[in-house]
Amino acid sequence: MKTIIIGGVAGGASAAARLRRLDEAAEIIILERGEFISFANCGLPYFIGGEITDRNMLTLQTPASFKARFNIDVRVFSEAIKISPDTKTVTVKDFNIGTTYEESYDNLILSPGAEPIKPNISGIEGANVFTLRNIPDTLKIKNYIETAEPKSAVVIGGGYIGVEMAENLAKAGLEVSIVELSDHLVAPLDFDMAADVHRYIKGKGIRLYLNNGVQVIDGSKVILQNGEISADMVIMSVGVRPETSLAKDCGIALNARGSIVVDSRMKTNIPNIYAVGDAVEVSNFITKVSAFIPLAGPANKQGRIAADNIAGFDSEYKGTQGSAVLKLFDMTVATTGLNEKSAEAAGIDFDKIYTYSASHASYYPGGNMMSVKILWDKKTLKIIGAQIVGFDGVDKRMDVIASAIRFGAKVTDLAELELCYAPPYGSAKDPVNMAGFVAENIISGKVKQFFWHDVENLPRDGSVTLLDVRTVTERARGHIDGFSHIPLDSLRERLNELPKDKPVYVHCHSGLRSYIACRILTGNGYDCYNLAGGWRLYESVMNERTVPEYICTECR
């Protein structure tokens, strides 16, 4: 049995290694048009920034190592230029000697990946404009920094790769700006969770131009829809699209976006041809709707599943939920599942909570707070998405929640999880447990909540009571207009100041003390609502809504 795999990296290399482990007698050929068969593409920005210093560490496998360990025939600089399903052959161009030849197959796995989107912008082909997809791209950028010695850079696109590149260019000593069409960085985040990211990244000296786009790149001048920036180099990071022209030419079914349509066993519409990785259409694990979610973890799993089925083992891919994590200097940003926009698009009636918890016991040195947002389906109570922004411990909390989603947990189940605890690592009430506690209080009716986006519409005509229960010192740093002030510890003694015939809308710094205030008020006959996320979240979002974008000095 002979299997040809077109493309390596995550999906193709995983399929090859898995197939060999399952079938020692199989003939396996990998065709790779570039020099590198298996490399750490997620690590490329960190080589540019100097976090990874040895370029050889980016290469996970070489043709020689694949041959030695797995007895796989790896052919680099060999591009598949045509697939002929009728004859079950692939036409290959060998760049080493400049000739073409045909190779027959019994089974074929396509793993062509995705290519960077290059928008129609004048000047995009300039010598100082780069994209980042592979090791050659990385070396070009690194070499440009070392030889041209640029002082400034613009990153066009504020997704995961764009933000990682901005961090690493800053670490390489450049002044960095990010231009993003959306109103916030990191698309899987909601705006309210991205607000903390914006404040932090600007504090690191990176300029943000949000709700803005690039019209022209003219040498060292980047002309925006609103303003312009001077920059010595430009990184294009506006997203990727599936690279599927080869599949299309041989009659493999594609969706409207150009992704290869596969079934749960990674089979295309043509017999004996499979496809895996960033080039394929996946099913969103939560909504069951077709999606394009290019991530390394799913690509590896898909490669394994295709190999299983070729080897005669029934194996299915059950969807992608989009779990991802981002390092931003010392900050960690993690997401899984749906955000509010995607939940609304899916027609899900959802609720949400915000918590603000310490990464480990508050009395143990070095702890940091993390902001947690969780969405759940009101009908089933199942968790449908989560976002966490913080520092240490964010990744492990998100992994717990991502696992809970995969196994169909209700949001209230988070309260029941027994997680590891010692003061250096967590709290007896872990941030994951706390999210479950808060959700259970909402669902059971123990407390009602309102949100930052409701505040401006609350009446200030005396028909409701607006109450701030923070300390005098906290209130002096800033407050919400129209909210009267009674510190929590004085509330019981001053209840007579609050009319019982009016709803009370309460806030504190994070939502915890105002929850306690609501329990006091409810126990005394009041109708109370707690501000989810508290002053901290409200102030963060309002600050991002009102602070103007950076405008370059040359444009003023």
Our CA angle for 103, 37, 255, nearest 5°, is 70
Instruction: Work out the average pLDDT over 8-27.
Output: 92
Return the minimum-mean-pLDDT range out of 2-11, 430-439, 468-477, 545-554: 545-554
* pLDDT tens per residue, range 422-464: 999 999 999 999 999 999 999 999 999 999 999 999 999 999 9
- Check residue 137 and give its pLDDT: 86
Q: How confident is the model at residue 556 (pLDDT cuts 50, 70, 90)?
A: very low
CA distances from 88 to 104, 240, 269, 303 (A): 6, 30, 14, 21
Q: Which of 42, 250, 420, 555 is catalytic?
A: 42
pLDDT of residue 41: 67
In eight-state DSSP terms, residue 379 is T
Given pLDDT bands bounded at 50, 70 and 90, which one contains residue 10? confident
Query: What is the arithmetic mean of pLDDT over 60-72?
Result: 84
Exposed/middle/buried for 249, CB within 10 Å: 0-12, 13-18, 19+? exposed
The predicted structure's pLDDT at residue 60: 66
Q: CB within 8 A of 286, min separation 6: which ones? A: 319, 321, 337, 338, 346, 384, 385, 405
Q: Looking at per-residue confidence, does 297 or 547 come out higher?
A: 297
**42: annotated active-site residue:** yes
The mean per-residue pLDDT over the stretch 86-106 comes to 95
Range with lowest mean pLDDT among 113-117, 157-161, 374-378: 113-117
Mean pLDDT for the stretch of residues 169-192:
95
pTM of the model: 0.93
In this prediction, residues 345-352 reach a mean pLDDT of 97
- Kindly list the strands in the beta sheet with 528-531, ordered across the sheet, starting from the edge strand earlier in the chain: 448-450, 528-531, 504-507, 465-468, 484-485
Residue that is written with structure tokens 């696109």 in the block = 157
In tens, the pLDDT along 474-496 reads 999 999 999 999 999 999 999 99
Please state the separation of Cα 556 from the chain's center in Å: 35
Please give the pLDDT value at position 43.
Answer: 77
- State percent of the chain over pLDDT 90: 84
Helix (H) / strand (E) element for 305: namely helix 296-310
- Report the C-alpha gap between 540 and 51 in whole angstroms: 30
What confidence tens digit (pLDDT) does each residue in 242-298 have? 999 999 999 999 999 999 999 999 999 999 999 999 999 999 999 999 999 999 899
